[in-house]
Structures are given as structure tokens and as C-alpha cells.
């Protein structure tokens, strides 16, 4: 070990925390000189020239002179506290490029076509949306539902169970130690916060373990609380899903329709059913002697029907806009079965992985007309999540996540739904919706040729000195930052790169370019993570973000970073360049 590392490691001397002045990268200087005039003292860039830079260099073809003028005025106000100057100096121009609110990496507005049927979209979806923590003993509350909606989540899951007296409805994770919350509290929270972030529809998936009497009570609650906000088809069953635009500011219920008449227990037992919707269904993946959840649910509901001797509440059934089916015989049979009405099918992450591996094209074909929901396996008791890209590659619209969870897979989910203005609906690529003459559909396992090349330049970073204490990374010297850049997508596109380590600098300059050949850029995510090198321990976390490649704006961009929970840092950001060839 060298003497420098020895002293740094054991703190035998205290290095000064000097903060070096940020110097614009060479590409920034060249771009400024290319689009500026020489003034009496130094070059400056007028609003006209800034507009030319935005259109030609940043590829913002829809920019207007008003846009350039607005940016110029904001820079003058922020940097010089005046509304007018002859033009932007190099320092002003550099400042502009480093502001993510003025020069971010993706469009902040909704810009996808929102008039296609619902199954044409990836939908931001939560799993067990009422849980505050782990899956076994945490509290159930309306608070995580509110937080999810305020973050743009459009799919909320509620598990409905009778209370001990069988006269009211609790929301809780059944057969666990989670403490319940009353259903009206959850429904009112949804009503009040559903459209704070996005005007597009909120889908409530109900996992129903109720008696017919309680189902009727739920129907009354739903009608009373949501009123005209609730969408349900007059015919009772959809032949085609409406579009997000048609369902603006609407609440939609989705669950398995209740049974209307008693069924023969003997006939039911002759059917082989696979669980698709519950915690015990998840455990079935790891415990072969467990009965499937749909069997258990049917037994529970049949018991209620037998005790009550009454049909299921007709009003409750009428309010279910998206019918959820169960997979009889096998998932493949359900995916292949031709149906006249559109519906929703749910698969655990393990079943989806097996289906994708063995008959992935059947999954894709199913999602071209119907909705597929994928949920975490039940053994994720600490509320971790799974890799969502497999579901998206096969067209699954509702990849359901524990939004109160943590980890890089949740970062991917956050990244996907930064698309399209963060409205919670992302238009699926056309390749997932197309069928050729021979009835073939998209297959991510095929050896696709390279269709696009993405060049990513990591210039520099800044802001850690403002968002972190001076001793957060190292007690005796400035941090040693490096950046990791990953591509997540179809297997052939997956890639990892990282910059060199810049020692002792709060504002590191890397100036490194990485080239990523992409076969299916429509499904690729760019994951970025900054780490601080530590010779004696695990490298420290310095920020992360995940961005859909299809949403990246070309040119030099300010890329804001987020903490481990997905909250945006106030100041930490990178200056990067994206170029497509």
C-alpha cells in the first residue's frame, strides 16, 4: 500500500477540503464559440443564436424564439439579477447547460399518443399498495397509497378481507400479522389524491375474500365515495379497452367477478387451477404441498355462498370494469385461449419468467389484446422487487412493485415512468403490438441486428458539497468519485461501463465517452450510478438515476441524481452528452 493511501485510510493527516472552480468541458466551449458572436470584450450568445444551438446541436426542432428568449431571461435573472444583457457569456451558457429544469435529459411533458386502447400502455402499478413496510408484520395504512399516487402510480392494489365480526371490510395482507386499515379510509384517500400528479385513470385491483353481503357493502361504498368518477361499462363487460384519454379523471375497478350461483364442489375439484392473485399463491411456487390460492379463495367464497344461500351481489359485479381471470389448467392454456371479451390475467414473477423462457411469444400475443399483471413472489417478505424488464419485453402492462421497497429494480421502475411527463402511462413500442402475416409477434430472444448506437459522454458532476456533509464520504479528504453506466434491455443489449476514479474532488471531471450498440433501443434503460471509492470498505453511494433510452434528448444535458429511495437530490447532478447514430 502506498504512503498516500495509508495516510488517507488511517487519518494520519487532515487534507483541506478545497473546492475547485468548475471549468466548462471542451465540447461546451466549442459549442459556445460556434453559436456566438465576438463582442467588444468577450464572445456572447444572443437569443437568436441560442435558438439555433437548441435546434441544431440539441436537436430540439420544435423550439421557438420565445423558448430561447425565456431561457435567456431566466439565466440573466438567476446569474445577474437583471432581465436584460447583450447576450449569454460562456459562464452563462455553461450555467444554463447544467440546470436540469432548463436543460434536462428527457421531456417533462406528456408527449405520447394517449388515444390507443389501454392495453397499448405500460402502467405504473403498485403491489400491496397499503403496506408501510414488510409483507408480514408492517402496518396497513392509507399513507403509502397517497404517496404512490402523488408519485404518479396509476395501479393501486387493495386486499379485502372480512373483519372478525364479518360485518365490515378490512384492507390487509391476509394470513399475516399486518394490522388492518378500513376500506373507506383507503377509498377516500384514492379519491382525494388520484389526479394530483396525473389526469389519467387510476385502476384499483381488488383481491376479494368477501361474502356476498360484504361485496354488496363494498359496492355501496364505492358508489358513494367515487360517484361519477367511477367508470364501468353499461354492458357489464368490455369488448375493447377504452384509451387513457377517454378515461381521464376516472377510477376503474378490476377483480375476479363473483360467482352468481352455487357451483358443484365436485365439478370444481375436477378442474386444475393455478393461483394468480394472492400471497399463498406465491408460496405455492416454493411449497409443492400448498393448495393454489384460486382454489383456496373459491373454497372460502363457496363456503360463504353455502352459508348464505344467496347469489353474489349483482351491483358489485356490475361495477367491475376490468375482469380478472384465473389461469385454469396452465398459464400457457390461459394465454392461448381465445376470448371474445378483454380481461386481465395475473402471474407471479416466477410464472412469468418460466412463461417468457418457454413460450414468450404466447405472452406477447396475449398482451396485444388483454392486460397482464405481474406481481412479486411471496417470499419477498422484506418488500424487495424483481427485475421488471422481462415483463416489459413481453408486453406486460402492469408490472406490480412494492413501492415502499428499495433497490436497483425499483430504480428501474422509477426510470421507466419518468417517461411521458411522469403521467403513469407509457405507450408500448409498436414492435410489441404488431403481428406479421404469418401471425408472428416480437421475440426478444431472436438475434436482432444493431439498429441504433448510443454514445454517452460523462463530462463532470457537481452538487455533492451542497447535499452532503464534508465528512460524509471521507473524514480526512475530499471524495473519490466514479460513475457507472449500465444498459438494461433485451439480453443482447445489456452492458456495463464505468469511468476512472477522480481522487480528492467534490466536482469531478471525467470526460469519458461510452458507446452502446442497441438492438431494441425502444425497450432499453440507461442506468447511471455515482460511487465514491473506498479502499477499506464498500464504496459509498453518491446518487443514481435511470432513464429510458427512447426518451433521451440528444445533446449536452444536465442529469439530476436521486437518493436510494428515489427522492431527487436538490443539487447533485451530472453534465452528460447523448448522441444517437
DSSP string, 169-216: EEES-TTSSPBPEEHHHHHHHHHHHTTSS-SSPEEEEEEE---HHHHH
Strands (E), 288-416: 320-325, 327-328, 344-348, 371-375, 398-401
Catalytic residues: 127, 173
Question: What percentage of the chain has pLDDT greater than the value 90?
Answer: 78
Give the per-residue pLDDT at 20: 60
Q: Cell numbers for 279, please give them.
A: 400471497
The pLDDT of 487-510, averaged and rounded, is 97
Q: Provide CATH 2.60.40.150 ranges for the chain.
A: 3-20+449-580
How many of the other CB atoms lie within 10 Å of CB of 80?
12
User: Looking at the predicted structure, is the pLDDT value of residue 161 above 80?
Assistant: yes
Q: Cell numbers for 142, please give them.
A: 392509507
The pLDDT of 324-335, averaged and rounded, is 81
Q: How confident is the model at residue 82 (pLDDT cuts 50, 70, 90)?
A: confident
In total, the chain counts a number of residues equal to 581
Q: Cell numbers for 63, please give them.
A: 423550439
Residue 286: closest CA among 380, 393, 150: 380
Give the per-residue pLDDT at 333: 86
Q: Cell numbers for 559, please give them.
A: 442529469
Residue 561: closest CA among 528, 526, 525, 524: 528
Q: How confident is the model at residue 284 (pLDDT cuts 50, 70, 90)?
A: very low
Mean pLDDT of the chain: 88
Residues near 416 by beta carbon (within 8 Å), at least 6 away in sequence: 122, 388, 392, 426, 525, 546, 548
Q: Provide CATH 3.20.20.190 ranges for the chain.
A: 118-260+312-326+339-432
Residue 155: closest CA among 237, 234, 244, 242: 244
Q: How confident is the model at residue 164 (pLDDT cuts 50, 70, 90)?
A: very high
**From CA 378, how far away is CA 286, in angstroms rounded?**
9
Minimum mean pLDDT among 78-87, 353-362, 497-506: which range? 78-87
Give the per-residue pLDDT at 311: 57
- Determine how β-strand 320-325 pairs with β-strand 251-255: parallel
Give the per-residue pLDDT at 260: 55
Residue 311: closest CA among 236, 401, 405, 211: 211
**From CA 269, how far away is CA 255, in angstroms rounded?**
22
Please state the three-class secondary structure of 119-142 as a single string.
Answer: HHEEECEECCCCECCCCCCCEECC
Give the per-residue pLDDT at 305: 39
Domain 3-20+449-580: give its CATH code.
2.60.40.150
**108 vs 279 pLDDT, higher one:** 108
Helix axes 90-97, 26-34, angle to 10 degrees: 120
User: Looking at the predicted structure, is the pLDDT value of residue 12 above 50?
Assistant: no
Dihedral sign for Cα 82, 85, 91, 92, please: positive
Give the per-residue pLDDT at 452: 98
**Contact assessment for residue 114 and residue 246, using Cβ atoms and an 8 Å cutoff:** no
pLDDT tens digit sequence for 178-188: 999 999 999 99
Q: How confident is the model at residue 19 (pLDDT cuts 50, 70, 90)?
A: low
Residues near 338 by beta carbon (within 8 Å), at least 6 away in sequence: none
pLDDT tens digit sequence for 31-69: 999 999 987 788 999 999 999 999 999 999 999 999 999
Tracing cell 449500465 back to the chain, one arrives at: 486
Dihedral sign for Cα 63, 65, 67, 68, please: positive
pLDDT tens digit sequence for 83-115: 777 899 999 999 999 999 999 999 999 999 999
Helix, strand, coil percentages in the chain from 3-state DSSP, rounded to 5: 30, 25, 45
Question: What percentage of the chain has pLDDT greater than the value 70?
Answer: 86
**From CA 375, how far away is CA 402, in angstroms rounded?**
9
Dihedral sign for Cα 102, 105, 109, 113, please: positive
Residue 534: closest CA among 469, 462, 477: 477
Q: Which residues sit opposite 546 in a β-bridge? A: 527
**Contact assessment for residue 205 and residue 254, using Cβ atoms and an 8 Å cutoff:** yes
**From CA 35, how far away is CA 320, in angstroms rounded?**
58
Give the per-residue pLDDT at 312: 74
Q: In angstroms, how far is CA 101 from the centroid of its own chain?
A: 21
Q: Which helix (H) or strand (E) holds 357?
A: helix 349-367
The pLDDT of 139-160, averaged and rounded, is 98
Give the per-residue pLDDT at 22: 81
Topology, domain 118-260+312-326+339-432: TIM Barrel (3.20.20)
User: Looking at the predicted structure, is the pLDDT value of residue 271 above 50?
Assistant: no
Q: How confident is the model at residue 437 (pLDDT cuts 50, 70, 90)?
A: confident
The pLDDT of 364-384, averaged and rounded, is 96
**From CA 361, how far away is CA 354, in angstroms rounded?**
12
**Contact assessment for residue 504 and residue 480, using Cβ atoms and an 8 Å cutoff:** yes
Strands (E), 353-448: 371-375, 398-401, 425-427
Give the predicted TM-score (pTM) of the model.
0.89
User: Looking at the predicted structure, is the pLDDT value of residue 81 above 60?
Assistant: yes
User: Looking at the predicted structure, is the pLDDT value of residue 272 above 50?
Assistant: no
User: Looking at the predicted structure, is the pLDDT value of residue 426 above 50?
Assistant: yes
Minimum mean pLDDT among 19-33, 369-383, 503-517: which range? 19-33
pLDDT tens digit sequence for 510-551: 999 999 999 999 999 999 999 999 988 899 999 999 999 999
**From CA 424, how far away is CA 155, in angstroms rounded?**
9
Any alpha helices (H) in 194-341, and if so which ranges? Answer: 212-226, 265-270, 279-283, 293-308, 314-318, 331-336
Amino acid at each position: 500500500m502506498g504512503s498516500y493511501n495509508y495516510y488517507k485510510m488511517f487519518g494520519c493527516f487532515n487534507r483541506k477540503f478545497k473546492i475547485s472552480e468548475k471549468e466548462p468541458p471542451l465540447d461546451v466551449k466549442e459549442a459556445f464559440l460556434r453559436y456566438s458572436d465576438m463582442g467588444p470584450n468577450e464572445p456572447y450568445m444572443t437569443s437568436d443564436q441560442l435558438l439555433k444551438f437548441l435546434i441544431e446541436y440539441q436537436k430540439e426542432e420544435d423550439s421557438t424564439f420565445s423558448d430561447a428568449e425565456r431561457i435567456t431571461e431566466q439565466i440573466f435573472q438567476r446569474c445577474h439579477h437583471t432581465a436584460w444583457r447583450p447576450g449569454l457569456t460562456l459562464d452563462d451558457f455553461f450555467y444554463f447547460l447544467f440546470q436540469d429544469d432548463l436543460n434536462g435529459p428527457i421531456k417533462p411533458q406528456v408527449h405520447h399518443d394517449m388515444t390507443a386502447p389501454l392495453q397499448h400502455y405500460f402502467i405504473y402499478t403498485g403491489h400491496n399498495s397499503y403496506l408501510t413496510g414488510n409483507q408480514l408484520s408492517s402496518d396497513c395504512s392509507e399513507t403509502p397509497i397517497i404517496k404512490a399516487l402523488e408519485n404518479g402510480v396509476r395501479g393501486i392494489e387493495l386486499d379485502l378481507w372480512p373483519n372478525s365480526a364479518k360485518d365490515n371490510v378490512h384492507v390487509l395482507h391476509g394470513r399475516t400479522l399486518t394490522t388492518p386499515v378500513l376500506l373507506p379510509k383507503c377509498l377516500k384517500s384514492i379519491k382525494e389524491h388520484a389526479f394530483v400528479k396525473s389526469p389519467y385513470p387510476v385502476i384499483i385491483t381488488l383481491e376479494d375474500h368477501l361474502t356476498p353481503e360484504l361485496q354488496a357493502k363494498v359496492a355501496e361504498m364505492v358508489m358513494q365515495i367515487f360517484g361519477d368518477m367511477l367508470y364501468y361499462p353499461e354492458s357489464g363487460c368490455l369488448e375493447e379497452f377504452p384509451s387513457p384519454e377517454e378515461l381521464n379523471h376516472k377510477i376503474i375497478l378490476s377483480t375476479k367477478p363473483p360467482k352468481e350461483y352455487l357451483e358443484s364442489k365436485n365439478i370444481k375439484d375436477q378442474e386444475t387451477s393455478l393461483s394468480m392473485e394472492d400471497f399463498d399463491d406465491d408460496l405455492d411456487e416454493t411449497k409443492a404441498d400448498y393448495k393454489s390460492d384460486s382454489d383456496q379463495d373459491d373454497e372460502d367464497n363457496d363456503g360463504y355462498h353455502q352459508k348464505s344461500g344467496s347469489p353474489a351481489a349483482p351491483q358489485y359485479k356490475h361495477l367491475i370494469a376490468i375482469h380478472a381471470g384465473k389461469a385454469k389448467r396452465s398459464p400457457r392454456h390461459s394465454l392461448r385461449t381465445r376470448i371474445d371479451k378483454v380481461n386481465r390475467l395475473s402471474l407471479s414473477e416466477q410464472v412469468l419468467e418460466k412463461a417468457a423462457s418457454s413460450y414468450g411469444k404466447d405472452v406477447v400475443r396475449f398482451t396485444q389484446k388483454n392486460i397482464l399483471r405481474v406481481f412479486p413472489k411471496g417470499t419477498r417478505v422484506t418488500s424487495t422487487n424483481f427485475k421488471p424488464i422481462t415483463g416489459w419485453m413481453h408486453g406486460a402492462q402492469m408490472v406490480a412493485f412494492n413501492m415502499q421497497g428499495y433497490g436497483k429494480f425499483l430504480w428501474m421502475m422509477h426510470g421507466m415512468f419518468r417517461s411521458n411527463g411522469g403521467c403513469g402511462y407509457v405507450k408500448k413500442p409498436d414492435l410489441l403490438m404488431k403481428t406479421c402475416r404469418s401471425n408472428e409477434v416480437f421475440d426478444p430472444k431472436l438475434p436482432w441486428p444493431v439498429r441504433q448506437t448510443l454514445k454517452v459522454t460523462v463530462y463532470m458532476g457537481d452538487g455533492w458539497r451542497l447535499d452532503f456533509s464534508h465528512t460524509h464520504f471521507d473524514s480526512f479528504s475530499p471524495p473519490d468519485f466514479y460513475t457507472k453506466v449500465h444498459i438494461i434491455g433485451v439480453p443482447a443489449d445489456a452492458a456495463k461501463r464505468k469511468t476512472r476514479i477522480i481522487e480528492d474532488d467534490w466536482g469531478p471531471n471525467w470526460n469519458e465517452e461510452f458507446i452502446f450498440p442497441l438492438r431494441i433501443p425502444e425497450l432499453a434503460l440507461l442506468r447511471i450510478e455515482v460511487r465514491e471509492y473506498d479502499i477499506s470498505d464498500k464504496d459509498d453511494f453518491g446518487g443514481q438515476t435511470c432513464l429510458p433510452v427512447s426518451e433521451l434528448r440528444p445533446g449536452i444535458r444536465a442529469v439530476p441524481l436521486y437518493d436510494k429511495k428515489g427522492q431527487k437530490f436538490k443539487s447533485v447532478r451530472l453534465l452528460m452528452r447523448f448522441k444517437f447514430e
